[in-house]
Amino acid sequence: MAEQVNEAAPARTFLQPIAAPSILGLYAFAGSTFIVAAHLAGWYGSGQPQTTWYLFPFAAMFGGLAQFTAGVWAYKARDAIATAMHGMWGAFWLGFGILNLLLAAGILQDTRLFHVSFGYWFIALGFITLMGAIAATAENLALASVLHTLWLASSLLAIAEMLPSESWRIASGWVFLLSAVLAWYTASALMFEGVFGRAVLPVGMTKKAQQESEVNIGAGEPGVAKGQ
C-alpha cells in the first residue's frame, strides 16, 4: 500500500483589531452618573423621590446595558480592569433600573430598611472599585482618578443611606459628579487617540502601559495589542 503523506495546512492568522471598549464604557458611566449625581447634589428634584423614576430608564440603558456590553468587549480586548469595572458598574446600573421600576410599581416601599439595604450595595461597589483603582495606577493616571473618586463617592453614599444623612448624600453627589467629568475626559482622550492615531489629550500613561501598547509583528499575537 502506498504510503500516504498528510501535509498540514499552512497556518493562517486572522487579525481583528477592535476599538477601545472603554470609549463606550466610560461615556456610558459619565452620562448616567452625571444625571443621578446631579440629583443627589440637589441640582434638581430636591425633596421629590419620584424624580428617580424619570431618570432611571436612561441610567439603566446607557449606564447599564451600554456599559455592561463594553465590559464584555473589554474581555475580548484583554483588558482586565475594564472588564471588571465596566461589567460590575454596568450590572449595578441595570439593577438600579430594576429597583426603581419596582418602587414606581409599588412593589417595594421607600422605607428605612430599603435605604440601609441600598447602602450595602455601595459598600460592595466601593471595595471592589478601590481594587480597580489601585490596579489602574499601573496603566494611567486618568483612569485611576476616575476609579479613586468613584470608590470614595460610593463610600460617602453608603454612609448617607445607612445613617441616613442628607448632607452626606449631597457630598457623595458632588464626588460622583467629579468622577463623571473625569470619565468623560478619559473617554474623550481614548476616542481622539483612536481617530488621530496619537495621544491628543494626556492621560498620564505609565511606562509599563506604553510598552504593552507597542505592536511587535510576529511575537505573541501579531497586530493585536491590548487596549482599553
72-82 mean pLDDT: 90
**Residue 16 within any structural domain of the chain:** no
Reply yes or no on whether the pLDDT at 219 is more than 60: no
* Residue 27 banded pLDDT, cuts 50, 70, 90: very high
Domain count across the chain: 1
What residue numbers bound the domain in which 148 lies? 21-205
Residue 19, pLDDT score? 80
Cα separation, 91 vs 146, whole angstroms: 18
What pLDDT score does 185 carry? 97
Is 153 among the domain residues? yes
- How far apart CA 93 and CA 58 sit, in angstroms, is 10
Summarize the confidence of residues 27-56 as an average pLDDT.
89
Q: Write the single-letter amino acid at 212.
A: E
Q: Does 224 score more than 70 pLDDT?
A: no
Count the neighbouring beta carbons within 10 Å of the beta carbon of residue 104.
14
Assigned domain for 215 exists? no
Note whether residue 227 is domain-resident: no
Task: Give domain status of residue 57, yes or no.
Answer: yes
| Residue 194 within a domain | yes
The C-alpha atoms of residue 132 and residue 1 are separated, in whole angstroms, by 64
Q: Which residues, in sequence order, are CB contacts of 140 under 8 Å at separation 6+?
A: 186, 203, 204, 205, 206, 209
Other Cβ atoms closer than 10 A to 76: 11
Q: Determine, yes or no, domain membership for 7.
A: no
The answer to whether residue 213 is domain-embedded is no
Position 121 confidence tier, pLDDT thresholds 50, 70, 90? very high
Q: Quick check: helix, strand or coil at residue 53?
A: helix
Helix (H) or strand (E) holding 187: helix 166-196
Number of separate helices (H) and strands (E) present in the chain: 8, 0
Contacts of 182 (CB under 8 A, 6+ apart): 142, 145, 146, 149
| Cα separation, 149 vs 129, whole angstroms | 10
Where is average pLDDT lowest: 3-7, 38-42, 92-96, 205-209? 3-7
Q: List pLDDT tens digits, range 134-174.
A: 999 998 999 999 999 999 999 999 999 999 999 999 999 99
107-116, 149-158, 210-219: the lowest-pLDDT one: 210-219
Instruction: Take residue 3 and report the three cell numbers written for it.
Output: 504510503
